[in-house]
Amino acid sequence: MKLCVIPGDGIGQEVIPCAVAVLQHVMPDLEIVEARAGWACFQETGSALPEATVEAIHTCGAALFGAVSSPLHKVEGYRSPIVQLRQRFDLYANLRPTRIAWSLALRWMGRAQSVDLMLVRENTQGLYSGRERIVGDEAIAERVITRAASERIAHVAFSLARERERKTVTIVHKANILPITDGLFRDSVRTVGAQYPEVKINEMLVDTAAMMLASRPGQFDVIVTTNLFGDILSDVASVWGGGLGMAPSLNLGAQVAIAEPVHGSAPDIAGKGIANPCGAILSAALLLRYHWHRPDLADRIERAVYAAIESGVQTPDLGGSATTRAMLEAILQRL
């Protein structure tokens, strides 16, 4: 098995080596191919995503991506490499699970409920289509929704739901305000749903879904939604799993998969050795489960991560004082 490893910027450089160490622990024969992308790479080479990196991912068929720093203003020639990769490799599904971290949810929210949800985000269209322009004083972003992409993401959501205990898909949209685009999304998902009679379908408006994810997340099983809504709602949901430092994701296409923690490059803590590596490690587990079809190894890694956390080894973002290194050691020990 081959894995292309792209640490990127900031804490990507700190958490990705941890995820690689964990993967190598359970897959001693794993071959690692290092590649570059991101802001530092752009400044040095003039490209945020060198062609050599794209080729390396293509050859390996799987990649682990850290995070990159993106400027908040337009920089000529710079485009976010992860958004480019999603489009280049047609990584149309973004899986973002949240599982309750009991001790953390109790400490922060004063309560915990059984949360085990999978957010399935359409990953190529919506407001991320790259169709943004300015005409005089009018700035326009086109929100593209197609039937084909909506049906494709629906198949991912229903296939996942079929294998889960509660077998329920909630379609999240804003069809009351966006009846044409989100109407098409909702109707396409429902059409596909008819092919999965064992799966129950709910729907919810996105603002209500945000409130429900913040207050009663236990009601959700699989959520399927459009690109931007999925980006935002998965950050809301991540709180129950211990926050951004814990949140994993997998960009999944027909041939290639790229695992990536949900968080960014975290410039405020970069270089201090205190970044939480769990989001990156749990992302590697998603790669094992859904791309390499090794749920046994994925289970082992997830158990080790949660056992380490419940034993009290926690980085500062979780309320503890463990370093990145200590967190990794605790996880390796439990493997």
Binding site for ligand NAI (CB under 6 A): 11, 15, 67-70, 82, 244-245, 260, 263-269, 275-276, 279, 315, 317
CB of 268 to ligand NAI, least distance (A): 5
The residue (of 188 and 276) whose beta carbon lies closer to Mg ion is: 276
Q: Which does 91 bind (CB under 5 to 8 A by kind): ligand NAI, Mg ion, none?
A: none
Tokens of 322: 């463990």
| Integer Cα distance of 222 and 122 in angstroms | 13
Q: Does 182 sit near Mg ion (CB under 5 A)?
A: no
Q: Which does 231 bind (CB under 5 to 8 A by kind): ligand NAI, Mg ion, none?
A: Mg ion
Q: Does 260 sit near Mg ion (CB under 5 A)?
A: no
Catalytic residue among 207, 272, 296, 299: 207
Catalytic residue among 90, 116, 187, 235: 235
CA distances from 161 to 166, 198, 204, 221, 223 (A): 8, 9, 17, 8, 9
CB 262 within 8 A of CB 94: no
Catalytic residue among 182, 231, 306, 317: 231
Tokens of 106: 């109790």
Q: Which residue is nearest to Mg ion (CB)?
A: 231
Measured in degrees and rounded to the nearest 5, phi and psi for residue 168 equal -130, 130
The DSSP-derived string for 212-259 is: HHHH-GGG-SEEEE-HHHHHHHHHHHHGGGTSGGG---EEE-SS-EEE
CB 123 within 8 A of CB 229: no
187 is catalytic: no
| Integer Cα distance of 321 and 290 in angstroms | 33
The DSSP call for residue 144 is B
Residue of the chain from 14, 221, 231, 302 that contacts Mg ion (CB under 5 A)? 231
174 is catalytic: yes
CB of 231 to Mg ion, least distance (A): 4
**Total residues at interface with Mg ion (CB under 5 A):** 1
CB of 267 to ligand NAI, least distance (A): 6
Q: Which residue is nearest to ligand NAI (CB)?
A: 264
CA 85 centroid distance within chain: 14
CB 216 within 8 A of CB 111: no
| Integer Cα distance of 263 and 66 in angstroms | 9
The residue (of 14 and 231) whose beta carbon lies closer to Mg ion is: 231
CB of 162 to ligand NAI, least distance (A): 29
CB of 280 to ligand NAI, least distance (A): 7
200 is catalytic: no
Give the interface with Mg ion as residue ranges (CB under 5 A): 231
Catalytic residue numbers, as ranges: 128, 174, 207, 231, 235
